[in-house]
Amino acid sequence: MYRIFLSIMMVFLVNCCSTGKNQVKRIPVARAGNVSLFYDEIPDQIKSSLSPVDSAALIQNYINNWAKRELMYQKAEANLSPDLRNDIEKQLGETRRNLVVYEYQRMMMLQKMDTTITPEELETYYRSNESSFILTSNIVKALFIKVPVETPDMYKIRTLSRSGSQKDFQELESICYQFAEKFDDFNEEWITMDRLSFELKVEIGNQENFLKRTTFYETTDSVSVFMITINDYRLRGTLAPFEYVSDDIKRILWNNRRIEFIQALENGIYNEALKENDFKIY
């Protein structure tokens, strides 16, 4: 394999010297059927391996894989029926057409489509489509704490986590940074009760009753103590809070705007073709 690498490199250098700086002759390194593989077609990361031995091995492996794919392709092409080859050509043509159209639409959207969605638009859509935003899961705003069972001042952690004052929260935060395995208020965002149950490693049977009667809950296993403080909740079957669905609304509005832009683009091109007499129905 090392000799293969040296042979390729020597031929490459000879051709570079003999053809001048600006005209490097392409060097064939393998042939499969009626197709040749050239040295410049081998990816640079394979040719520039750490050592000549490694590079030779990688080049040999690349050549073998290339030959297998190329020979399989040639065998398949020679044995497929004309009808199948025609179907493939049609599919390739349709795929190319779709890709060209997609890239043009994307380019025009980047250049001309207004992507700004105002808070007022989000709020208006939310109020106009409240029936679409009914919760299918119970959601909460909660503080979750997981500490080792031997943590000192456990009573203080419990007391501070139940307090609603910012000062107590900062003190709690300081203690938990020292001792807690996990301390998370989920960025004060809404999360599903199922996710909180997963963090607790406890299956809560009747979540609705639990949320109605619980603001603080503690459980333990052999190594850790788990505490949650429920700051707010919404039950399934009720209207989702605006902030919980605002990202979904943004995606809906953006997608609607994208569809409208593409339709307007298509209609504009169509009407221009009619005007310029570039489209006729016979």
For residue 124, what are the contacts with CB-CB under 8 A and spacing of at least 6? none
Report how far apart, in Å, the C-alpha atoms of 147 and of each of 221, 227, 248 are: 11, 9, 35
For residue 151, what are the contacts with CB-CB under 8 A and spacing of at least 6? 157, 179, 180, 225
Is residue 145 domain-shared with residue 215, that is, in the same domain? yes
Domain around 174:
136-234
Q: DSSP secondary-structure letter at 137?
A: S
Q: Chain centroid to CA 92: how far?
A: 27
Is residue 144 domain-shared with residue 230, that is, in the same domain? yes
How far apart (Å, rounded) are the C-alpha atoms in residues 239 and 132? Answer: 9
For the cut 70, the answer to whether the pLDDT of residue 21 exceeds it is no
How far apart (Å, rounded) are the C-alpha atoms in residues 267 and 208? Answer: 51
Total domains in the chain come to 2
Q: Does pTM surpass 0.75?
A: no
Q: Using 50, 70 and 90 to split pLDDT, how confident is the model at 23?
A: low
For the cut 60, the answer to whether the pLDDT of residue 3 exceeds it is no
168 within some domain: yes
Q: DSSP secondary-structure letter at 1?
A: -
Mean predicted confidence (pLDDT) in 249-254 = 97
Q: Using 50, 70 and 90 to split pLDDT, how confident is the model at 15?
A: low
Q: Using 50, 70 and 90 to split pLDDT, how confident is the model at 53?
A: confident
List the single range of 11-15, 25-29, 37-41, 136-140 with lowest mean pLDDT.
11-15
What is residue 142's predicted lDDT score, i.e. its pLDDT? Answer: 94
Inter-residue contact 29 to 8 (CB < 8 Å)? yes
